[in-house]
Structure 1
Amino acid sequence: MTSELHRAFSRFLSPAEILALSPELLVDQRRRFTATPDIILQPHTVEAVQNVMRHCFAHRIPVTPQGGNTGLCGAAVAQSGVLLNLAKLDKIRETNPADNSITVEAGAVLQRVQEAAGQAGRFFPLSLASEGSCQIGGNIACNAGGLNVLRYGAMRDLVLGLEVVLPEGTLVSHLQPLHKNTTGYDLRHLFIGSEGTLGVITAATLKLFARAQTTATAWVTLPDIESAVRLLTLTQGSFAERLCSFELVSRFALELSSAFSRLKKPDDGEWHILLELSDSLDSPDLTDRLAEFLYQNGFENSIIAQSEQERRDLWTLRENISASQRHLGTSIKHDIAVPIAAVATFVRECSAALAQKFDGIRIVCFGHLGDGSLHYNTFLPDILSNEAYSYEDAVNDVVYEHVLRHNGTIAAEHGIGIIKNQRLPAVRTPAEIALMRAIKAHLDPHNIMNPGKLLP
């Protein structure tokens, strides 16, 4: 079949657009899944994407879109058919300071988009640990969140317009930088978070913002999460939209990152908050105001960054938590969210339940307390290999039971992919899932777009 596909696609693709099967595109970031496509295509133009989709639609060939291959839920793992890699669709088409927008192709790496915005005197706020390799199309497809959701929102809030190739090859393009448009259904939101199951995102127009002229950063050590929630509430009341990041770090997470980063822990305590304020105006007293605010409200156990290097060191401790866990072995990860007021109770009760059922289990808990989403990673004792996944359902049963008890979600920003799709009915009603299926059946009647992903 592979040779037949090669001949068929060679009729309208150049040799450079048909790739050999290479491990970096086939193995997912966590080395959990290996894709088994019949062929890998890397179109260089939107027209080439359309031609690929027309052929696949006519011949019922499955298509799995792939961005930077940094996903954590297996959504970009092709199980057959075409693995459609979009890395060559990477142009910055237009930067538009008047409309505070930038139009980029799906394969543009996030860091490059941030840099292009900066060169235009603007700021693109999506910030992720993988920003040096993840691509905008993938960020949109899983509705990425990251460090600045508290102030700027998730990817869904940052997209003004989309260009999408539908399964049968039709191009739907609305890239105008309009901040208001009430002409019927807003179809872009169908594709944001759809994980490649409805069409192929080829370009997007994104919102830009003013660059920060002043930044104030603090590391606050606290006895419990209830104190962290109190700090969040007070900070929002005092600094409003200037609060852009509010990150929760557990004692264990900090210990791991400190050793990995070779940076001294700012303090010793059960829980820590890394918070950052920013102002688009020059506000030289912002750091002093933050220090005074923390002292007056009883948060004396705080460190205020006094230089850019100190600020970078604090952020390095936060950002290296993920990498610092690797020596613990294979983790069973949870990308969850609960209402902020329920985070403390969830963490306390879920940790106790896991410890009771899995003796010696270790939990690395950290994440974006400002929007209620946590990275809740569990490590079973003495299991360093992927054998840990044989316990995944049992661990997830405990974690998700507590998430749902507190009206939370099992997927805050990483998506559903193939590892959570059978649990979708726990967080979406039968009516909602039926509507999702109806939309997919209409747009993708032959079920060629990323089959087996997202929907159960």
Structure 2
Amino acid sequence: MNPQHIKPALLQFLSADEILEDASAWLTDQRSRYTGTADAVVQPKSVAAVRQLMRFCFENRIAVTPQGGNTGLCGAAVPEGGVLLNLSKLNRIRSINLADNAITVDAGAVLQTVQEGAAEAGRLFPLSLASEGSCQIGGNIACNAGGLNVLRYGTMRDLVLGLEVVLPNGELVSHLHPLHKNTTGYDLRHLFIGSEGTLGVITGATLKLFALPKTVETVWVGVDSIERAVELLTLVQGGFAERLCSFELVSRFALALSSDFSRIGQPVDAPWHILLELADSMESGGLGEELAEFLLAHGFDNAVAAQSETERQALWTLRENISASQRNLGASIKHDIAVPIENVAGFVADCETALQTAFSGINIVVFGHLGDGSLHYNTFLPGVLDNGVYEYEDAVNAVVYENVLACNGTVAAEHGIGIVKKQWLPSVRSAAEIALMRAVKAELDPRGIMNPGKLLP
């Protein structure tokens, strides 16, 4: 179809306010790295409208790029022509089922809205991300988001009970009933979780809820090495089991940046820092004392415990503001990697040595979720403050990913592949695995209209 005819044709089944006139805000990714093009940008208000749109695009072989809050970091939601399908107007909380500890929501529901809806019902939805005020559930599912509470509750894959998906041909596949056991063949929802919009359009989801914590203890601990931090993790897991929710690693450099940016003093002085949090669904007045005694007994005396919610929020602000504080260093080459926890210390030491050898004076900001082996490993080249840094991206990535792979790790922990990393997929997936991925896509998307140019190399 002639691109000029697409918008008029869409008016056959979409209202005028579902077709955006000024779409510029949706065409550029969050990092302003990629700007795409689209013949139309639409925001349907119903699942029925999404089905009609997909049927139309399938029949006319028009590319479709699904998009949520556009908070992704890998360019997966940037369109390459065709129709950009933004789900923001599908944003309801459909139902909350306390008997099944489940909440059913539209894909365009903002994560924070879902958290608040669950809390109003006396429950916890545990996914927690820095972008939770703007990211959407459909996008969280499409990239299998992780965040701060993976250690206790798992990734988004572990939190999804059921999905509603519109296939490329407009057919609806919906299993939103909160079944906790179902062994009737292949569990097809897992194809769409982490698929980055390449197989279909997620329009709804049923998610797991948990008891709200009644006791929370938050402690900032300074340690001399990552090895010592891993030792602490092992000890706390053994001593406090499932009450350990978060175990965050922060380098001295990362803390200094965030402290200056946040105007919050550094809690302790140390080469490495751990922010750990315990939570209990029962009232436990002695949990804080128990944790303090535990830390002292094992030699972790360089620590500060939050004595109020205000102090707790200050500690978390230091952790969450690291990303924003880095901008003062200029543009960075970001890495969202994961290695087995026992290999984190070796990776950090070896990779820094290799990078300093190849790029003298490079700045490295290391922080992330040590409790699940996932790190944000960001590099800044001296004297290169703008997007010109990406001229060096392949060379920097080659060093970083060589070290990641040597530690049996992955190049994408929780941000996905998108555009940025698709050429690296064969380094972590075998030829047989990629062939199987292509076969699945060919079956579900035979005309190749779903988010072309993303994920698969």
Q: Which TM-score band applies after superposition, normalised by the shorter structure?
A: over 0.9
Which string of whole-angstrom CA distances, capped at 9 and with x for unpartnered residues, describes residues 40-74 of structure 1? 01111000000000010001000000000000000
Match of residue 6 from structure 1: 7
Match of residue 431 from structure 2: 430
Match of residue 306 from structure 1: 307
Deviation of 1:75 (Å): 0.2
Match of residue 51 from structure 1: 52
Which string of whole-angstrom CA distances, capped at 9 and with x for unpartnered residues, describes residues 375-421 of structure 1? 00000001111000000000000000000001000000000001100
TM-score between the two structures when normalised by the length of structure 2: 0.99
AA paired with 1:365? V
Match of residue 190 from structure 2: 189
**Mapping 1:137-286, distance limit 5 Å:** 137-286=138-287
Match of residue 344 from structure 2: 343
Deviation of 1:269 (Å): 1.2
Report the Cα distance in structure 1 between the residues aligned to 2:399 and 2:369, rounded to whole angstroms: 22
The answer to whether the 8 A contact 1:21-1:39 is kept is: no
Alignment size in residue pairs:
456
Match of residue 294 from structure 1: 295
Match of residue 35 from structure 1: 36
TM-score between the two structures when normalised by the length of structure 1: 0.99
Match of residue 21 from structure 2: 20
Which string of whole-angstrom CA distances, capped at 9 and with x for unpartnered residues, describes residues 259-306 of structure 1? 000000001111000000000000000000000000000001111111
Report the Cα distance in structure 2 between the residues aligned to 1:298 and 1:190, rounded to whole angstroms: 46
The answer to whether the 8 A contact 1:150-1:243 is kept is: yes
Deviation of 1:131 (Å): 0.1
Deviation of 1:7 (Å): 1.0
**Mapping 1:93-108, distance limit 5 Å:** 93-108=94-109
Report the Cα distance in structure 1 between the residues aligned to 2:3 and 2:217, rounded to whole angstroms: 56
Match of residue 371 from structure 1: 372
Question: Helix, strand or coil: the match of 1:40?
Answer: strand
Report the Cα distance in structure 2 between the residues aligned to 1:211 and 1:254, rounded to whole angstroms: 30
Residue 419 (structure 2) pairs with residue 418 (structure 1): yes
Question: Helix, strand or coil: the match of 1:99?
Answer: coil
Report the Cα distance in structure 2 between the residues aligned to 1:201 and 1:180, rounded to whole angstroms: 22
AA paired with 2:431? P
The answer to whether the 8 A contact 2:218-2:275 is kept is: yes
Question: Helix, strand or coil: the match of 1:240?
Answer: helix
Report the Cα distance in structure 2 between the residues aligned to 1:294 and 1:400, rounded to whole angstroms: 35
Q: Name the % identity.
A: 71
Report the Cα distance in structure 1 between the residues aligned to 2:314 and 2:356, rounded to whole angstroms: 33
Report the Cα distance in structure 1 between the residues aligned to 2:344 and 2:189, rounded to whole angstroms: 32
Which string of whole-angstrom CA distances, capped at 9 and with x for unpartnered residues, describes residues 317-374 of structure 1? 0000000011111100000000000000000000010001001100000000000000
Question: Helix, strand or coil: the match of 1:284?
Answer: coil
Alpha-carbon RMSD: 0.6
AA paired with 1:14? S
Report the Cα distance in structure 2 between the residues aligned to 1:150 and 1:23, rounded to whole angstroms: 38
The answer to whether the 8 A contact 1:221-1:302 is kept is: yes
Match of residue 82 from structure 1: 83
Which string of whole-angstrom CA distances, capped at 9 and with x for unpartnered residues, describes residues 157-192 of structure 1? 000000000000000000001111111110000000
Deviation of 1:2 (Å): 4.1
Match of residue 72 from structure 1: 73
Match of residue 127 from structure 1: 128
Large movers: runs of 4+ above 6 Å: none
Deviation of 1:23 (Å): 2.7
Report the Cα distance in structure 1 between the residues aligned to 2:334 and 2:25, rounded to whole angstroms: 22
AA paired with 2:288? T
The answer to whether the 8 A contact 2:4-2:39 is kept is: no
Question: Helix, strand or coil: the match of 2:165?
Answer: strand
Match of residue 454 from structure 1: 455
Report the Cα distance in structure 2 between the residues aligned to 1:103 and 1:297, rounded to whole angstroms: 44
The answer to whether the 8 A contact 2:7-2:39 is kept is: no
Report the Cα distance in structure 2 between the residues aligned to 1:23 and 1:125, rounded to whole angstroms: 33
- Mark the runs of 5 or more structure 2 residues left unpaired by the alignment: none
Report the Cα distance in structure 1 between the residues aligned to 2:180 and 2:325, rounded to whole angstroms: 41
Question: Helix, strand or coil: the match of 2:99?
Answer: helix
Report the Cα distance in structure 1 between the residues aligned to 2:166 and 2:328, rounded to whole angstroms: 42
